[in-house]
């Protein structure tokens, strides 16, 4: 049967449970094991789809249309497996399911309680992930030990080991070992209290991963081992890394995967680790020759996690070109006021990411126009495509006052609109196109050249579409609709300007499918065009010594 690793956290949030879990997944996969991952979120929202990005960050979308926690993006990028909506379970989903069962009479009139009904529902959701084609399921429990919301999840994973067997479950606890600069020493007390709290819930950790700014002495590991009742070799140090993609190697050097495999009796010669591919990736990460500055024109730029997958996709594209990508965060509402200045001109490329709502939309339109007119490479994603369509309609196709119906319900030219069959749907979210959709690309187009194929599948999360009534008018003005939704040829999926260095947009969210060792073609194309723009203006970084 499948093995299960439960990752919990203590002391503080944002210690990196998701990255630790993802890194362990990468290490186990490098041993030839089949790995999947799951996030248990304690919030009562059913999913993050309607949550403010400032509250929750990015909403990550799976192929089957699940709106999930951003940590699933880390999971997919590290283990290179496409997850699904069942890979994220929330308190809201759990209680909704239990209440629905109670209403149907599934519990035969019994009193419905947290134990056993809520905990059974949590266990069932975890157990379903352990299919025949999965060797190890890694489950991250959101929040920190001590949070009141997390109690049912801790109780469920405590019961889980009793039901599936001790040798089939590993409890990994991530905690903080702070370094006090005033005294020049690390402190283990937060870890002791965190583990004590976890043990009070009936869970004895098998492995403790200690987050720290810098390595600490073996004597400190021995102290944590003694006070927390874990073997010394199972106390693992996770020090700060220059890149998140170095974390698997940091944890491997500490023996984390060896410990877990021994616990699961998966440490035979058939599971020797091969990290050569990941090491080659890190060579690219650490061998940058050039620098490009990419502006991200958004409305949530004060919280970069709102665009986490976009940021990582840009970095991946940089890895592929041996280039460091420096992000310039630009508030969309401020763009119209900066056009007279040099801020956009100083950029090597621009990304106009997705979003919802009117705020900042005019700034995105202005950024699109400036990039189009001044030859700045520009990539539009979802709402970014809408902004670029509106820009082109207003400023090139002669449709003065053109807009998206979302932003202006009485616009004379609704070049972005709800489709006819969607207009009768009034429930919030009812018109959303979510998950993977197949598009057919125009042979010979710039987009087809980047993808190197003419049939592609990308993930979507949007409500409004390019209005097909205006497609011919836009094309007559020179815009190329280089990809359409494959079912009926109605919905525009990609646009481009062939004469421009790079002015391309997609209705999809390609950032969700980018991988560190396999950059997404659209982002790779943007960075390549940005490098060309940068080299035309300044010497390449590795030529600086030669030019003095």
Alpha-carbon dihedral sign for residues 405, 407, 412, 416: negative
Tell me the backbone φ, ψ of residue 454, rounded to 5 degrees: -110, 0
Strand partners of residue 484: 440, 492
**What gap in Å lies between CA 78 and CA 74, rounded to an integer?**
6
**What gap in Å lies between CA 36 and CA 174, rounded to an integer?**
20
Longest dimension (CA), the chain: 83
Nearest-10 crossing angle of helices 256-263, 17-29: 70
Q: Are 90 and 46 in contact (CB under 8 A)?
A: yes
**What gap in Å lies between CA 343 and CA 334, rounded to an integer?**
11
Does 213 participate in catalysis according to the annotation?
no
Does 382 participate in catalysis according to the annotation?
yes
Q: How many residues does the chain have?
A: 548
Q: Are 321 and 523 in contact (CB under 8 A)?
A: no
**What gap in Å lies between CA 392 and CA 492, rounded to an integer?**
15
Is 12 strand, coil or helix?
coil
> Helical H runs in 201-285?
218-228, 247-253, 256-263, 276-285
Distances (CA, A) of 220 to 16, 142, 225, 235, 236: 21, 27, 8, 10, 11
CA 83 remoteness from chain centre: 12
Does 316 participate in catalysis according to the annotation?
no
- In what side-by-side order are the strands of the sheet with 414-417? 403-404, 414-417, 465-466
Identify the active-site residue in 74, 252, 386, 509.
509
**What gap in Å lies between CA 384 and CA 395, rounded to an integer?**
16
Q: What are the structure tokens assigned to 323, written together?
A: 């280039």
Identify the active-site residue in 170, 511, 520, 528.
511
Is 263 strand, coil or helix?
helix
N-term to C-term CA, the chain: 63
CA 434 remoteness from chain centre: 16
Strand partners of residue 35: 136
- In what side-by-side order are the strands of the sheet with 349-352? 323-331, 290-298, 349-352, 378-381, 503-506, 492-496, 480-485, 433-441, 455-462
Tell me the backbone φ, ψ of residue 431, rounded to 5 degrees: -95, 5
78, 82, 6, 73: which is closest to 247 by C-alpha?
Answer: 78
Identify the active-site residue in 382, 458, 462, 465.
382
Tell me the backbone φ, ψ of residue 337, rounded to 5 degrees: -90, -5
* Residue numbers annotated as active site: 382, 509, 511
């Amino acid at each position: 049967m499948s093995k299960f690793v439960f990752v919990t956290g203590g002391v503080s949030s944002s210690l990196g449970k998701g990255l630790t879990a993802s890194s362990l997944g990468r290490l186990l996969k490098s041993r030839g094991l089949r790995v999947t991952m799951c996030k248990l979120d304690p919030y009562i929202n059913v999913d993050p789809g309607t949550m403010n990005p400032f509250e929750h960050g990015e909403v990550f979308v799976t192929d089957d249309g699940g709106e999930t926690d951003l940590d699933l993006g880390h999971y997919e990028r590290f283990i290179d497996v496409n997850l699904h909506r069942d890979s994220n379970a929330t308190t809201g989903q759990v209680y909704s399911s239990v209440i629905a069962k109670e209403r149907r009479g599934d519990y035969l009139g019994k009193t419905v309680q947290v134990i056993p009904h809520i905990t059974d529902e949590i266990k069932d959701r975890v157990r379903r992930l352990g299919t025949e084609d999965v060797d190890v399921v890694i489950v991250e429990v959101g929040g920190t030990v001590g949070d009141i919301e997390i109690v049912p999840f801790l109780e469920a994973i405590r019961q889980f080991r009793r039901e599936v067997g001790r040798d089939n479950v590993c409890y990994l606890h991530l905690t903080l070992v702070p370094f006090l600069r005033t005294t020049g020493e690390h402190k283990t007390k937060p870890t002791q209290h965190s583990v004590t709290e976890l043990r009070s819930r009936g869970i004895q950790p098998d492995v403790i991963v200690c987050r720290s700014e810098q390595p600490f002495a073996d004597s400190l590991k021995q102290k944590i081992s003694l006070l927390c009742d874990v073997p010394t070799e199972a106390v693992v140090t996770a020090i700060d890394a220059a890149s998140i993609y170095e974390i698997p190697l940091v944890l491997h050097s500490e023996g984390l995967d060896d410990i877990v495999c021994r616990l699961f009796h998966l440490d035979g010669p058939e599971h020797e680790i091969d990290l050569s591919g990941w090491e080659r990736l890190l060579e690219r990460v650490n061998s940058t020759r050039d620098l490009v500055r990419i502006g991200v024109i958004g409305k949530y730029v004060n919280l970069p996690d709102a665009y986490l997958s976009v940021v990582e996709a840009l970095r991946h594209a940089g890895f592929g070109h041996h280039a460091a990508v420096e992000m310039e965060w630009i508030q969309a509402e401020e763009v119209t006021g900066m056009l007279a200045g040099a801020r956009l001109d100083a950029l090597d490329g621009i990304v106009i990411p997705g979003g919802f709502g009117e705020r900042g939309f005019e700034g995105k339109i202005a950024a699109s126009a400036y990039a189009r007119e001044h030859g700045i490479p520009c990539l539009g994603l979802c709402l970014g495509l809408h902004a670029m369509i509106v820009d082109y309609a207003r400023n090139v196709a002669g449709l003065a006052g053109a807009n998206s119906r979302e932003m202006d319900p009485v616009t004379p030219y609704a070049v972005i609109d709800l489709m006819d069959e969607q207009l009768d749907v009034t429930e919030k979210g009812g018109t959303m196109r979510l998950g993977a959709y197949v598009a057919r690309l125009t042979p010979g187009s710039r987009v087809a050249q980047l993808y190197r194929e003419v049939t592609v599948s990308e993930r979507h999360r949007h409500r409004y579409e390019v209005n097909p009534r205006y497609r011919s008018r836009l094309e007559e003005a020179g815009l190329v609709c280089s990809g359409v939704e494959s079912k009926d040829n109605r919905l525009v999926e990609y646009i481009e300007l062939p004469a421009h260095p790079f002015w391309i947009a997609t209705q999809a969210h390609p950032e969700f499918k980018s991988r560190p060792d396999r950059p997404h073609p659209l982002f790779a194309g943007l960075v390549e065009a940005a490098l060309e723009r940068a080299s035309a203006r300044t010497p390449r970084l590795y030529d600086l010594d030669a030019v003095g």
